[in-house]
Structure 1
Amino acid sequence: AEVLLVSRSTNRAEQAVDALAASLDDAARSRLRPVGLDAQGVFERALAQADVLFASGAAGVELLSDSQLAVASRVKVAVDLNAVPPAGIAGIAPTDAGQRREDRVDYGALGVGELKMKIHRRAIAALFESNDRVLDTEAIYDLGRQLINART
């Protein structure tokens, strides 16, 4: 999957990609691309191809409007990490935790936090089940998957 890191300016997006790229392997680095809102039409084309959106901008700044969200018709999951009104993604409340809207599942900042804390609790409990237990990324992901499947 290609990952687009979007910022208000192409220069800031490039700086953020460079900072992230230092901790990634070549395969992951090759799939990370900067996108600036100052590049005419690039963001809209990216939105039309997006499957997942994460918004994590400054508090109280709308990053994605209703009209822009309409362009993102392929999006299956949208996550807004902004808990301060207005929403970073129009229509997503901070407390949304798997709220279904048409073909999309939305999470707000507090909704994401709730699931994260449940995963933390489940992981810590699993570590106390045996002295030699190790939880890597995949094991923790599986714990999260189990929690989500139990809710649906």
Structure 2
Amino acid sequence: MARKHILHMLTPLGHMSPFDVNMALDAGFDAVLPYVGVSPGEVTGLVQDAIFSRPPDAGVDTGIFIAGKDVSLALDMFDAARKAMVPPFKVSVFADPAGSFTTAAAMVAKVEKALQAKFDRGLNDSRIAIFGATGVVGFCTAVIAAKEGAHVTLVGHDGVERVKKVAAEIESRFEASVDIADGSTEAGNKRAVAASEIVLTAAKAGVQVISKAQFENAGDLLIAADVNAVPPAGIEGLTVNANAEPLEATKAVGIGPLAIGNVKYKVEFGLFKKMIEAEKAVTFDFQDAFALAREIAK
């Protein structure tokens, strides 16, 4: 009899995301078990309970999913889960806190594809401004883009203190350098946009981050993209389904949240499928999400 594919989903929050539960079951897991309020110190015990309950050759049929809304905490839990393995007892591990790894991967992959198709260039040396950089998606987007050679600037809507801390963590954890800018004023936002070739917004849903007026001096702007589908758009004039189409009031093209979301969905679903179909235990983080997003993005 074939063994069941079991996924144990760990989150430090009070509930597991229904989105992730649905995705895992639709991808083919036979059973999905959520564990809420999990602290980093509890990860080792939970993972070892999972690995020792089945023979070593069944490890590939067992998965651990790391959720939550804090990138650093999720990465710490991810590392703890990997270190909890006792060879030959191993299971697969996938981290995607608040969908941030797969969403960020999809956004950067769509931007990269548009750069190649529209401007015959890549991410390397591109000037990218990220608005909403203190959130989970903005954080991951900054890391992925910086590691691809882009010059990334984190724009702080409430000043530079919080983005300064994010920049320091990115440098210490990933050895990637990013700049910061003050976006707490209209003038500050205009300067950040004008200095950029690519503008990415990952702020809270339903908040307009960039107005048409802020594009006035953005002569170098090539691409503007937003991940939030709740009105109003994060970027004024950007439609939800824009797919590298001309952006109103600019010479750039825009990428809307539905175009990004379509890739994000396929990436998360695809990584769950890869866990199920793998012949040996695998581990997936934002870098694996970006690799798959590159294959999927059109």
Give the structure-1-normalised TM-score: 0.72
Q: CA deviation at 1:58?
A: 4.3
Residues 84-123 of structure 1: pairs in structure 2 closer than 5 A: 84-96=230-242, 98-101=243-246, 104-123=252-271
**Structure-1 separation of matches of 2:152 and 2:246:** 23
**How large is the RMSD of aligned CA atoms in angstroms?**
2.9
Offset at residue 42 of structure 1 (A): 3.9
- CA deviations 1:95-137 (Å, max 9, x no partner) are 33x2321664423233322211111122222331322444454
**Match for residue 69 of structure 1?**
215
The equivalent residue for 1:51 is 197
**Cα offset, 1:19, TM superposition:** 4.2
State TM-score, norm by structure 2: 0.41
The question of whether the paired residues in 2 share the 8 Å contact of 1:14 and 1:34 is answered with no
Q: Call closer, same or farther: CA 1:7–1:137 in 2, change over 3 Å.
A: closer
Mapped to 2, the partners of 1:37 and 1:91 lie a distance apart of 21
Task: Report deviation, 1:142.
Answer: 2.3
Identity %: 26
Aligned partner (choices 171, 180, 183) of residue 24 of structure 1: 171
The structure-2 alpha-carbon separation of the partners of 1:60 and 1:138, relative to structure 1 and needing over 3 Å to count, comes to closer
1:7 is matched with 156
Structure 1 unaligned segments of length 5 or more: list them: none
Q: CA 1:140/1:8 → structure 2, altered by over 3 Å: closer, same or farther?
A: closer
Q: Unpaired runs of 5+ in structure 2?
A: 1-149
Contact 2:189–2:214 (CA under 8 A) maintained in structure 1:
no
Matched residue pairs, number?
A: 144
Cα deviation digits, residues 54-73 of structure 1 (max 9, x gap)? 22334443221223224323
8 Å CA contact retained: 2:194, 2:219 = yes
Q: 1:14 to 1:34 in 2, by over 3 A?
A: farther
Secondary structure of the residue that 1:75 maps to in structure 2? coil
CA distance in 1, matches of 2:253, 2:273: 28
The question of whether the paired residues in 1 share the 8 Å contact of 2:155 and 2:163 is answered with: no
CA distance in structure 1 between the partners assigned to 2:245 and 2:280 by the alignment: 40
Identify the structure with bigger relative contact order (alpha carbons < 8 Å, sequence gap 6+): 2
Q: Is the 8 A contact 2:167 2:180 kept in 1?
A: no
The answer to whether the 8 Å contact 1:4/1:35 transfers is: no
Q: Distance in 1 between matches of 2:162 and 2:286?
A: 27
3-state SS of paired residue (2:234): coil
Task: State the 1:50 CA deviation.
Answer: 0.9
Q: State how far apart, in whole Å, the 2-side matches of 1:15 and 1:141 are.
A: 26
Paired residues of 1:7 and 1:37 also in contact (CA < 8 A): yes
Counterpart CA distance in 1 for 2:279 and 2:252 is 39
Correspondence for 1:143: 292
How far 1:89 moved relative to its partner? 0.5
For 1:126 and 1:59, how far apart are their aligned partners in 2?
A: 30
Q: 1:83 matched to which residue of 2?
A: 229
CA change 1:144–1:16 in 2 (3 A) is: same
